[in-house]
């Protein structure tokens, strides 16, 4: 569904990403982790078609990406800046559908369902700045869901929310993904989160970046904040990724 091959990115002659090659099958949820500044955001922006790559290609459903592809949605880390502050929650979620000329009735259905899925159907008339951080990020997620993308990209979406909200949002993402089967690329720097969420975890090296490891997460499909995280296998995987990243940092 999503293929990244030989991706390279230089900023003004300085190599940030050296060579990335990996792919996602339809309906897969893959997490990408790596040390800070290794190029996770760069990778994601290249995949989203927001940034031209220096070399290599990205393709979605066989189509080469040159600009933002039509069936892709992104949830940015900076939720506070990705919502339109002068629009209500419902207007924010609705806007992309309006621009796509989705008929009114279907549009309302989609918006309502998406807000319900993130438990925000009681505040459609509120403005983003009247909501807590976690709620704002849920609005951004609702907007992505309502858009019905084939591919969903998320860039450290929970980096700025507190731990309890974060756990809730993680479970929300898992539940939605299981229900809708959207191909999802999830970027994070939190190893626990990556192991908890992903079917696979792609570990990146420090910049100039390559793929250090593409790790299959062999935990039960049904996950739970307490029991899954308490599994010895979880600690194993966690420790393994942690050691990898330490190695990556050390090698820098």
Partner 1 sequence: MRVLGLPVLLVLAWWAYSAVADNFYVPDPLRVVRAFADTWFGQRLLDDALPSVGRLAAGYVVATVIGVGLGVPIGLSARLRATAEPVLEFFRAIPPPVLVPLIMLLVGIDDSMKVLVIVSGCVWPILLNTVEGVRALDEVLADTCRMYGISRRHLILRGASPQIMAGLRQALSVGIILMVISEMFASSSGLGFTIVLFQRGFQIAEMWSGILLLGLLGFALSTAFRWLERRILFWHWSNRA
Partner 2 sequence: MTRAIAYGAAGLAALLAVLEAVPRLGLVDARFLPPASEILAELGGLLGTAELWIALGETLRGWALGLAIAFVAAVAAGVVIDLIPGLRAASNSTIEFLRPIPSVALIPLATLLFGASLGSTLLLVVYAAFWQVLIQVLYGVADVDTVARDTARAYGLGRWSAIRHLVWPTALPYIMTGLRLAAAVAFILAITAELVIGSPGLGLEIQTAQSGGAVPTVYALVVLTGLIGIAVNAGVRMLERRVLAWHPSVRGT
Ligand X SMILES: Nc1ncnc2c1ncn2[C@@H]1O[C@H](COP(=O)(O)OP(=O)(O)OP(=O)(O)O)[C@@H](O)[C@H]1O
**Residue 100 engages partner 1 in binding (rule: CB under 8 A):** yes
The correct pick among 26, 64, 100, 104 for binding partner 2 (CB under 8 A) is: 100
Give residues 201-220 in contact with ligand X (rule: CB under 6 A): 207
* Partner from partner 1, partner 2, ligand X, none contacting 181, C-beta within 5 to 8 A by type: none
Give residues 141-160 in contact with partner 2 (rule: CB under 8 A): 143, 147
Measure the CA–CA gap between 75 and 218, rounded to whole angstroms. Answer: 26
- Paired sense of beta strands 183-187 and 29-33, if any: parallel
**Residue 49 engages ligand X in binding (rule: CB under 6 A):** no
Q: Which is nearer to its own copies, 28 or 156 (CB)?
A: 156
Mention every residue, 6+ apart, whose C-beta is less than 8 A from residue 211. 20, 21, 22, 202, 203, 204, 205
Per-position x/- string for 30-49, each x denoting binding to Mg ion as judged by CB under 5 A, each - no binding: -----------x--------
Q: Which stretch binds ligand X (CB under 6 A): 35-43, 55-63, 217-225, 234-242?
A: 35-43
Write b or e for each residue in 183-213: b if 16 or more Cβ atoms lie within 10 A of its Cβ, otherwise e: bbbbbbbbbebbbbbbbbbbbbbbbbbbbbb
The correct pick among 1, 51, 123, 160 for binding its own copies (CB under 8 A) is: 160
Label each residue of 39-106 as H, E or C: CHHHHHHHHCCCCCCCEEEEEECCEECCCCCCCEEEECCCHHHHCCCCCCHHHHHHHHHHHCCCCHHH
Q: Which is nearer to its own copies, 4 or 169 (CB)?
A: 169
Measure the CA–CA gap between 37 and 209, rounded to whole angstroms. Answer: 10
**Residue 164 engages its own copies in binding (rule: CB under 8 A):** yes
The correct pick among 13, 14, 99, 218 for binding partner 2 (CB under 8 A) is: 99
Number of residues located near ligand X, criterion CB under 6 A: 12
Measure the CA–CA gap between 21 and 49, rounded to whole angstroms. Answer: 16
Q: Which residues bind partner 1 (CB under 8 A)?
A: 45, 48, 50, 67-68, 70, 72-74, 76, 78, 81-82, 84-86, 95-96, 99-100, 127, 129, 143, 147
């Amino acid at each position: 569904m999503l293929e990244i091959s030989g991706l390279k990115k230089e900023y003004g002659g300085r190599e940030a990403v050296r060579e990335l090659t990996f792919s996602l099958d339809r309906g897969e949820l893959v997490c990408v982790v790596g040390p800070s500044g290794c190029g996770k955001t760069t990778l994601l922006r290249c995949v989203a078609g927001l940034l031209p790559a220096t070399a290599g290609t990205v393709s979605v459903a066989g189509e080469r990406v040159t600009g933002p592809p039509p069936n892709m949605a992104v949830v940015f880390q900076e939720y506070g800046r990705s919502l339109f502050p002068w629009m209500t929650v419902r207007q924010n979620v609705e806007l992309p559908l309006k621009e796509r000329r989705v008929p009114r009735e279907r549009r309302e259905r989609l918006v309502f369902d998406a807000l319900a899925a993130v438990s925000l159907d009681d505040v459609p008339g509120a403005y983003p700045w009247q909501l807590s951080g976690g709620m704002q990020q849920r609005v951004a997620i609702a907007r992505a869901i309502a858009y019905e993308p084939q591919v969903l990209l998320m860039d450290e979406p929970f980096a700025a929310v507190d731990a309890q909200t974060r756990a809730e949002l993680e479970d929300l993402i898992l539940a939605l993904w299981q229900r809708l089967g959207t191909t999802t690329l999830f970027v994070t720097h939190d190893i626990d989160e990556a192991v908890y969420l992903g079917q696979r975890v792609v570990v990146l090296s420090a910049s100039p970046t390559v793929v250090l490891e593409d790790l299959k997460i062999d935990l039960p499909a049904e996950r739970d904040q307490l029991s899954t995280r308490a599994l010895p296998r979880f600690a194993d995987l966690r420790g393994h990724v942690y050691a990898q990243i330490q190695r990556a940092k050390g090698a820098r």
